Amino acid sequence: MEQKKQELKEAGLSERQVEEHFKLYEGYIKKSNELREKFSKVNWEEANAVQSDVRSLILGETFANNGVRLHETYFDNLSNKKYEPEGKIKKLLIEKFNSIDNFKKRLIAFALSVRGWVVLVWDSYDNKLKLFGTDQHDIAVWNCTPLLVLDMYEHAYFIDFGTDKKKYIEWFFEHIDWKVVEKRTERF
């Protein structure tokens, strides 16, 4: 984790931006662990879909676990080096978006339109590359493998970029570790 923090600082993020973002991520890890412990003590007989401890734990665990996984994928697909898409991911992006520039335009439009996450996925149901945006951690599209994740919550950019979301998105695009994204395509 310390190596990734250093890499992000070398990529141009301030120490405060990096530390605050990782503090939030570590909070999701802690909350995930707490929720697992609470499951061992819950009264399963009182479960219902309106309000119950079981329902609250299920929703909380989904939110916290996705918060962990999305952050880990986001941090991993960032680098302090400049890479260009190549190999399978480049081929898939061009097939889907007709060019890398068109992909970038679409990613920017998605990012400016959500308050949470933009996720480029391989949809194994349709066997297609897709781009999704969501405002919450606990909304997922099933049978999809995240290939590239962009955090659009304000905590990801506000300290260094203020309200200039587009500048943050440009920074993100310049620091994508396409080698990591390419490796993720090996799963399908």
**How much is the pLDDT for 27?**
97
In terms of domains, do 174 and 93 share one? yes
In terms of domains, do 99 and 45 share one? no
Residue 38 one-letter amino acid = K
| Average pLDDT in the chain | 96
Indicate whether 137 pLDDT > 90.
no
**How much is the pLDDT for 103?**
98
List the domain range (segments joined by +) for residue 12.
Answer: 2-76
Indicate whether 188 pLDDT > 90.
no
- Mind listing the pLDDT tens digit for each residue in 93-102? 999 999 999 9
CATH number for the domain including 63? 1.10.287
